[in-house]
């Protein structure tokens, strides 16, 4: 099977699997990450086919929707790629990207390390969708999905949050800005990712300024 056919099958598979997903982690999130990854890849020396597969499959079974089980996504992706007769080396690389892409894993100092240019590209593409206008929308959408408060001045952000605390947090959505979103700009890997992230980061800062003005009754 040629690469174009495999990518077509992957898109169909992901759309079906995420048909009823939470709005911040649905097919449209995947599509945006995929487009971001292709855009970033233009300035990087990477395997575009591998990047495409990883971008499309990176959230095929997000652990937060599977009782925190981080093995479901990698296994589901691996099984699918095996069915598509994707080469073992490529399959293993995609699975490693899925295992290591998430922000929460960066909070685990004992986590196994894996690096590749393809991971850097897909990770940047995914993180770009967590900041800016869409990132803000996704944050509040997930907060609503989990019935979290929008903001509580008495609940301060945890600026030294651990992976487990991050996974189990039920803090107000605004706290997530300080525990993740505002940190992403300085964690980008690629030149293109850094440039786009800087613009989206500024938008978040402007949004928070407006948010607090409205919250505190300032004109």
Q: Where are the domains of the chain?
A: 3-215
213 closest CA partner among 130, 177, 205, 166 = 205
The pTM (predicted TM-score) of the whole model is 0.91
CATH architecture designation of domain 3-215: Orthogonal Bundle (1.10)
pLDDT tens, the chain, 219 aa long: 899 999 999 999 999 999 988 888 999 999 999 999 999 999 999 999 999 999 999 998 776 766 666 788 899 999 999 999 999 999 999 999 999 998 766 666 666 688 999 999 999 999 999 999 999 999 999 999 999 999 999 999 988 877 777 777 889 999 999 999 999 999 999 999 999 999 999 999 999 999 999 999 986
Integer angstrom CA distances of residue 67 from 18, 48, 50, 60, 176: 17, 32, 28, 14, 20
């Amino acid at each position: 099977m040629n690469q174009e056919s495999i990518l077509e099958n992957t898109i169909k598979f992901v759309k079906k699997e995420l048909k009823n997903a939470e709005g911040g982690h649905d097919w449209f999130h995947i599509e945006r990450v995929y487009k971001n990854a292709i855009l970033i890849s233009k300035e990087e020396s990477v395997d575009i086919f591998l990047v495409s597969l990883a971008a499309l499959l990176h959230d095929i079974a997000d652990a937060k929707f599977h009782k925190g089980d981080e093995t479901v996504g990698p296994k589901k992706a691996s099984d699918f790629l095996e069915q598509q007769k994707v080469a073992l080396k490529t399959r293993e690389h995609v699975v490693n990207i899925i295992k290591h892409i998430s922000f929460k894993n960066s909070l685990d100092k004992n986590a196994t390390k894996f690096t590749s240019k393809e991971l850097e590209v897909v990770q940047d593409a995914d993180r770009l969708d967590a900041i800016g206008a869409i990132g803000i929308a996704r944050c509040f959408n997930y907060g609503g999905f989990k019935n979290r408060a929008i903001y509580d001045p008495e609940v301060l952000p945890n600026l030294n949050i651990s992976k487990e605390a991050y996974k189990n947090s039920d803090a107000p959505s605004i706290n997530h800005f300080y525990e993740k979103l505002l940190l992403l700009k300085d964690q980008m890997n690629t030149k293109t990712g850094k440039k786009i992230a800087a613009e989206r980061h500024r938008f978040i800062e402007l949004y928070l300024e407006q948010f607090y003005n409205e919250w505190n009754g300032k004109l």
